[in-house]
């Protein structure tokens, strides 16, 4: 497949990686052949191979590292939430995806997750991840940016109890896509000290409802929490 100004020769590498992952010929942790080997295999330039590898890195499918040793080369990984978060953040910035719509989508998924989590099996250890984050947010010395980071992780940890990996991934990516806007809004309004006690109260209520497996109450509380917070911040 020859290179051309209009053709996307690197697509053949992307298709090959996709097919290999689907068939099981490539698995997480495997290392891809080098640039030269891939270029010769597909009859394309090394520049096209590099383009394909960069695309896969942005997609969260591979990680590349120079040098030698067990972590060098291009290794197959899986980091979909990071890739989705970057894409969502870019489209929110371009105003193609309104922030309000992203927040509503997040609310739909999170309320479903907390309601569903009441009826599926999970262990106390899994819930403990959210408990530790809840306790960390009680530190009055936390800057708002660190609090919102822990806040993001708290909501994702609770949503993960539903056991749906796709929903958890989308939740994490959406929260990351809009967290910067929240930080900016908090800094502009200068009302963080007034907001944070209510956030803690809301978080404790949501956690207690999830812990008690009261799905409907947990879903209602998280909806009210999200609606309240975005009225304050945006």
DSSP labels, the chain: ----SSS-TTHHHHHHHHHHHHHTSS-TT-BPPPHHHHHHHHT--HHHHHHHHHHHHHTTSEEEE-SSSTT-EEEE---HHHHHHHHHHHHHHTTSS-HHHHHHHHHHHHHHHHHHHTTS---HHHHHHHHHHHHHTT-TT--HHHHHHHHHHHHHHHHGGG--HHHHHHHHHHHHHHHHHHHHHHHHHT-HHHHHHHHHHHHHHHHHHHHTT-HHHHHHHHHHHHHHHHHHH-
pLDDT at 161: 96
Q: Alpha-carbon distance 196 to 186, whole Å?
A: 11
Q: Average per-residue pLDDT in the chain? A: 87
Rounded Cα distance, 201 and 1, in Å: 60
Residue 175: the pLDDT is 79
Q: What value, to the nearest 5°, has the Cα angle with vertex 85 and ends 16 and 130?
A: 115
Percent of the chain with pLDDT over 70: 94
pLDDT of residue 70: 62
Domain 81-233 = CATH 1.20.120.530: yes
Q: Is the pLDDT of residue 130 over 80?
A: yes
The CA-to-CA distance between both ends of the chain, in Å, stands at 50
Per-residue pLDDT at 154 exceeds 60: yes
Domain ranges of the chain: 11-76, 81-233
The CATH number fitting domain 11-76, selected from 1.10.3720.10, 3.90.550.10, 1.10.10.10, 3.40.920.10: 1.10.10.10
Tens digit of each residue's pLDDT (9 = 90 or more) over 163-212: 999 998 888 888 777 877 777 777 777 778 888 999 999 999 999 999 99
CB 158 within 8 A of CB 130: yes
The confidence score (pLDDT) of residue 4 equals 46
What pTM was computed for the model?
0.77
* pLDDT, tens only, 2-54: 444 434 788 898 999 999 999 999 998 899 998 899 999 988 999 999 889 98
Token digits of residue 82: 């990071």
Q: What is the pLDDT of residue 68?
A: 59
* Span 89-118, average pLDDT: 89
Mean per-residue pLDDT, 224-231: 90
Q: Do domains 11-76 and 81-233 have the same CATH topology?
A: no
The arithmetic mean of pLDDT across residues 212-217, rounded, is: 97
Average pLDDT (139-159) is 91
């Amino acid at each position: 497949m020859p290179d051309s100004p209009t053709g996307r020769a690197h697509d053949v590498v992307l298709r090959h990686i996709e097919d290999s992952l689907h068939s099981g010929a490539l698995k997480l942790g495997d290392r891809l052949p080098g640039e030269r080997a891939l270029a010769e295999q597909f009859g394309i330039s090394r520049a096209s191979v590099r383009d394909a590898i960069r695309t896969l890195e942005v997609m969260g499918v591979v990680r590349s590292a120079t040098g030698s040793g067990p972590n060098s080369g291009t290794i197959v990984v899986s980091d979909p939430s990071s890739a989705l978060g970057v894409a969502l953040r870019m489209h929110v910035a371009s105003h193609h995806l309104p922030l309000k719509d992203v927040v509503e989508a997040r609310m739909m998924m999170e309320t479903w997750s907390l309601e569903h989590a009441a009826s599926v099996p999970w262990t106390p250890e899994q819930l403990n991840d959210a408990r530790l984050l809840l306790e960390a947010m009680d530190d009055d010395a936390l800057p708002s940016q660190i609090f919102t980071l822990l806040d993001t992780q708290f909501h994702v940890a609770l949503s993960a109890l539903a056991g749906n990996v796709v929903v958890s991934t989308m939740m994490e990516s959406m929260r990351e896509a809009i967290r910067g806007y929240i930080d900016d809004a908090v800094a502009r309004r200068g009302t963080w000290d007034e907001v944070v006690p209510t956030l803690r109260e809301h978080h404790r209520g949501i956690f207690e409802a999830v812990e008690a497996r009261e799905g409907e109450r947990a879903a209602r509380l998280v909806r009210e929490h999200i609606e309240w917070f975005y009225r304050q911040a945006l």
